[in-house]
């Protein structure tokens, strides 16, 4: 059986830390808690479970804190958890099976990460595989019978373990502020983090967040070395930013470039929102329909699902005031929105 170190970074998590650690009790062979500046009872609660508690001065960089926590681990594998995560009894057993049956060559185990929605239930929750269990010391092996080379890519196993994310509050504002600070003065983000920045903006960004992000995503869009996918993501952010500010000239600059290529649900949704705000509900419904049935999403699955379905229902409801023939369609789309579920291939 393999041994596992739990490595956590925490700050002011007194409301959820005990729940997390209780759910992992009996699975972990050592528990390492790195505190980045708590002012509540977080460290006192952590001390009930481990004496391996370390202080780390926050540097506005989660990677530095994670690396510090990993440096304290001594077991075969390292499991990372946030304080607002929970493993239930069924997935506890699955994790134990992994510990008992782990093949030596596996270096990373991915687990299904389930984000509860705002109503604290699993319907339409976002589900994604995330790397959660890491081999602490990698061994390098030679591959290929001729022109041999050292295998440098990790061996990854997609497990059936589900981790339930049960946040007490929203961390998106914190994340957006970190993204913003790291893009100042010409700062660059990796493609993965740039994608996450765009996703966070479309999901929870305020007008102020978009205003702060505009200059960076303008730079991304203008960069000749940036790939087409990243340009489309930047265009979605910029279109919403300019729509928020009522700058229709720049809004259509990005929207029209997108629809001239293979358009995406996010941009169709933006066009729908623009026409909806102007009171042109017929035109708005056409773009919402395109978001759902004629295009695919690249950042926010909900623009191709419940968001646009509800908006079409609203369009027809407003049109039915003067033409009752729209009333049935309004009810139909409202019902489709209520029943909408995350596509199975994304779970």
What is the 3-class SS of the chain, one letter each residue?
CCCEEEEEEECCCCCCHHHHHHHHCCCCCEEEEEECCCCCCHHHHHCCCCCCEEECCCCCCHHHHHHHHHHCCCCCEEEECCCCEECCHHHHHHHHHHHHHCCCCCCEEEEEEEECCCCCCCCCCEEEEEEEEEECCCCCEEECCCCCEEECCCCEEEEEEEEEECCCCCCHHHHHHHHHHHCHHHCCCCHHHHHHHHHHHHHHCCHHHHHHHHHHHHHHHHCCCCCHHHHHHHHHHHHHHHHHCCCHHHHHHHHHHHHHCCCEHHHHHHHHHHHHHHCCHHHHHHHHHHHHHHCECCCCHHHHCHHHHHHHHHHHHHHCCCCHHHHHHHHHHHHHHHHCCCCHHHC
Q: Which residue has the higher pLDDT, 148 or 313?
A: 313
Q: Characterize 203-212 residue by residue with b for buried, 16 or more Cβ atoms within 10 angstroms of its Cβ, and e for exposed.
A: eebeeebbeb
Q: Which residue has the tokens 């595989």?
A: 129
Check residue 118 and give its pLDDT. 44
Q: Which residue has the higher pLDDT, 133 or 173?
A: 133
Q: Does domain 4-165 have CATH number 1.10.3720.10?
A: no
Domain boundaries, the chain: 4-165, 171-258, 262-347
The whole-model pTM stands at: 0.71
Report the percent of the chain where pLDDT is more than 70.
92
Residue 198 has pLDDT above 90, yes or no: yes
Fold for 171-258, please state it: 1.25.40
**Which burial class, exposed, middle or buried, applies to 67 when counting CB atoms under 10 A from its CB (0-12, 13-18, 19+)?**
exposed
Tell me the C-alpha distance between 96 and 217, whole Å: 44
Tens of pLDDT, residue by residue over 99-152, are 999 998 999 999 999 876 544 433 334 678 899 999 999 877 776 666 567 777
Q: Does domain 262-347 have CATH number 1.10.4160?
A: no
Per-residue pLDDT averaged across 294-320, rounded? 95
Domains 171-258 and 262-347 belong to one CATH topology:
yes
Check residue 119 and give its pLDDT. 42
Tell me the C-alpha distance between 79 and 92, whole Å: 13
Residue 285 has pLDDT above 80, yes or no: yes
Q: What confidence tier does 341 reach under pLDDT thresholds 50, 70, 90? A: confident
Check residue 148 and give its pLDDT. 63
Supply the mean pLDDT for the chain: 90
Q: What confidence tier does 296 reach under pLDDT thresholds 50, 70, 90? A: very high
Helix axes 248-260, 265-278, angle to 10 degrees: 140
Per-residue pLDDT averaged across 193-211, rounded? 94
First to last CA, the chain: 30
């Amino acid at each position: 059986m393999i041994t596992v170190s739990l490595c956590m970074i925490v700050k002011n998590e007194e409301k959820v830390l005990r729940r997390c650690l209780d759910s992992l009790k009996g699975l972990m062979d050592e528990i390492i808690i790195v505190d980045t500046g708590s002012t509540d009872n977080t460290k006192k609660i952590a001390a009930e479970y481990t004496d391996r508690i370390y202080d780390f001065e926050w540097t506005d960089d989660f990677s530095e804190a994670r690396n510090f926590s990993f440096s304290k681990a001594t077991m075969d594998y390292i499991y990372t958890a946030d304080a607002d995560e929970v493993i239930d009894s069924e997935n506890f057993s699955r994790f134990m099976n992994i510990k008992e049956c782990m093949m030596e060559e596996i270096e990373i185990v991915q687990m299904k990460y389930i984000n509860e929605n705002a109503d604290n239930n699993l319907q339409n929750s976002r589900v994604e595989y995330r790397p959660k269990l890491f081999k602490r010391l990698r061994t390098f092996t030679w591959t290929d019978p001729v022109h041999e080379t050292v295998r440098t890519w990790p061996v990854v196993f997609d497990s059936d373990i589900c981790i339930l994310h049960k946040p007490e509050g929203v961390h998106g504002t914190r994340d957006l502020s970190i993204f913003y600070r790291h893009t100042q003065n010409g700062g660059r983000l990796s493609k993965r983090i740039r994608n996450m920045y765009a996703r966070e903006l479309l999901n929870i960004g305020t007008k102020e967040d978009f205003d702060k992000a505009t200059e960076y995503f303008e730079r991304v869009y203008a960069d000749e070395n940036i790939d087409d996918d990243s340009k489309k993501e930047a265009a979605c952010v910029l279109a919403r930013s300019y729509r928020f500010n009522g700058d229709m000239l720049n809004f259509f600059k990005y929207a029209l470039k997108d629809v001239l290529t293979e358009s995406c649900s996010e941009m169709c949704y933006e066009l729908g929102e623009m026409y909806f705000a102007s009171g042109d509900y017929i035109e708005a419904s056409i773009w919402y329909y395109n978001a759902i049935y004629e295009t695919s999403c690249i950042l926010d699955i909900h623009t191709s699902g419940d968001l646009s379905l509800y908006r079409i229902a609203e369009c027809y409801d407003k049109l039915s005031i003067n033409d009752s023939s729209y009333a049935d369609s309004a009810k139909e789309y409202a019902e489709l929105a209520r029943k909408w579920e995350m596509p199975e291939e994304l779970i």
